[in-house]
């Protein structure tokens, strides 16, 4: 999942027009506003994803990579790259090994979606993990995985909220940077 922000020439010309005699500082203002927006998007990825899914912030943040904007490269990227997450990092009930248990364990990946998982069981193999048998025999067993962080962030509702907040932050800080440059120019005169 990537969130990319590119600045087109139309926006650059508008900012140059607003800055007037300080038009050479337009790329600085845009790059600074983009970097604020990138920081905001990275924070919102974790916040918005955790509103929908039962996952730790640290699990999300370790998959994120940010490419900041500069005066020469006025584009920024927040990318999430990762593998499917073991289901035991989400909500499972019970979390303890119970060999005599007859009822299926319950698993929830999304908030409010605790459901029974037929055939799944909790085992302590170098820590608590959730497995499922391949057939009727005792072995082989496979570990159960949930979605990856990029899949969760790619959810349309989550992505729409992140993009809207990022765009709002960019516009707000672009105005702030333009005003800052104009105020400094007036103070120097």
100 shares a domain with 181: no
124 shares a domain with 164: no
Residues of the chain with pLDDT under 70: 1-7, 188-189
155 shares a domain with 78: yes
72 shares a domain with 93: no
- What confidence score (pLDDT) does residue 1 get? 57
For the chain, the residue count is 189
- What confidence score (pLDDT) does residue 177 get? 92
Domain range spanning residue 164? 2-84+149-188
- What confidence score (pLDDT) does residue 184 get? 83
Q: How many domains does the chain fold into?
A: 2
pLDDT tens digits, 113-125? 899 988 899 999 8
- What confidence score (pLDDT) does residue 46 get? 93
172 shares a domain with 98: no
91 shares a domain with 72: no
100 shares a domain with 60: no
111 shares a domain with 62: no
158 shares a domain with 77: yes
Rg (CA), the chain: 24
- What confidence score (pLDDT) does residue 73 get? 85
Tokens 């073991």 belong to which residue? Answer: 86
6 shares a domain with 79: yes
pLDDT tens digits, 38-80? 999 999 999 999 999 999 999 999 999 999 998 888 888 899 9
170 shares a domain with 79: yes
Listing from the earlier edge strand, what are the strands of the sheet with 105-108?
A: 91-93, 105-108, 115-117
User: Is the Cβ–Cβ distance between 12 and 74 less than 8 Å?
Assistant: yes
Tokens 């005699």 belong to which residue? Answer: 21
168 shares a domain with 76: yes
H, E, C per residue of the chain: CEEEEECCHHHHHHHHHHHHHHHHHHHHHHHHHHHHHHHHHHHHHHHHHHHHECCCHHHHHCCEEEECCCCCCCEEEEEECCCCCEHHHCEEECCCCCCCCCCCEEEECECCCCEEECCEEEEECCCEEEEEECCCCCCCEEECECCCHHHHHCCHHHHHHHHHHHHHHHHHHHHHHHHHHHHHHHHHC
Whole-prediction pTM = 0.80
């Amino acid at each position: 999942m990537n969130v990319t922000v590119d600045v087109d020439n139309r926006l650059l010309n508008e900012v140059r027009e607003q800055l007037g005699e300080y038009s050479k500082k337009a790329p600085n203002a845009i790059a600074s506003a983009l970097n604020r927006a990138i920081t905001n998007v990275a924070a919102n990825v974790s916040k918005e994803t955790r509103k929908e899914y039962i996952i730790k912030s640290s699990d999300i943040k370790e998959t994120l990579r940010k490419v900041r904007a500069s005066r020469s490269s006025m584009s920024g990227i927040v990318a999430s790259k990762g593998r499917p997450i073991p289901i035991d990092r989400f909500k499972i009930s019970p979390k303890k090994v119970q060999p005599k248990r007859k009822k299926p364990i319950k698993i929830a990946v999304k908030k409010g979606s605790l459901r029974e998982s037929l055939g799944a069981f909790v085992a302590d193999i170098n820590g608590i993990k959730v497995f499922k048998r391949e057939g009727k025999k005792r072995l082989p067993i496979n570990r159960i995985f949930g979605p990856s962080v990029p899949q969760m962030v790619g959810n349309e509702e989550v992505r729409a909220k992140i993009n809207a907040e990022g765009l709002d932050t960019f516009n707000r800080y672009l105005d702030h940077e333009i005003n800052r440059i104009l105020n400094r120019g007036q103070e120097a005169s």
